[in-house]
Amino acid sequence: MQLRWAHAVVYVKDMQPMLDFYTEILGFEIADRGPINGDGTPEIVFLSQIHTDHHQIAFLEVRKEVEASNSVNHFAFRVADLNDVKSMISTLKQDGRATALNPMSHGNAWSIYFQDPEQNGIEVFCDTPFHVAQPQGKTWDPQSSDAEILAWTEDNFKDQPGFGPIQDYYDKRETELADRG
């Protein structure tokens, strides 16, 4: 199984200067943004340079000045398919050193979130065939068959904004990035 670096979510103290730096200096574009909690705060902003990656990095404005630096929420690794995600879950359960296992679907991905032995957040995921505007998240059952998980995902996210075939989203992003030159 190949793990490929995918994205990091970073706690920031002041969102706008971070967005300015990452967009103006590093060349990222804002792919999505929205409130992560039902009360409208805090806002999460997703950034990417690659049309097939919804985000490579995201910022969540929750860092407090008085706290010790802890700017990493989790590190994510992409795997080839749902079987690899299920295999990772099985391995983590058998090994027992990872904690806080949480299978989560964002509509556009099937993930297993967990904490490593030093409590760093990790995500191992594969893409679904769908795109859904983010943020989204619902717990999925890794014991279900692949066909059941696919049907469950479509049923649970089909009414959400931006839902559609992932390839349509990839094509749109590719065109947008190509137009930028």
Mean pLDDT, residues 114-128: 86
Q: What CATH number matches the domain at 4-171, 3.10.180.10, 3.40.50.2000, 3.90.700.10, 1.10.760.10?
A: 3.10.180.10
User: So where are the chain's domains?
Assistant: 4-171
The per-residue pLDDT for range 6-46, each reduced to its tens digit, is 898 888 888 999 898 888 887 889 999 999 887 777 999 99
State residue 162's pLDDT score.
94
| H or E element that contains 15 | helix 15-20
Angle in degrees, CA 9, 173, 134, rounded to 5: 40
Mean pLDDT, residues 109-137: 91
Residues 57/47, Cβ–Cβ less than 8 Å: yes
Give the whole-angstrom CA distance, residue 1 versus residue 81.
10
Q: Is the pTM of this model over 0.75?
A: no
Give the whole-angstrom CA distance, residue 162 versus residue 100.
30
Question: Pick from 130, 90, 87: which is nearest to 107 by CA?
Answer: 130
Residues 3/77, Cβ–Cβ less than 8 Å: yes
Give the whole-angstrom CA distance, residue 29 versus residue 51.
10
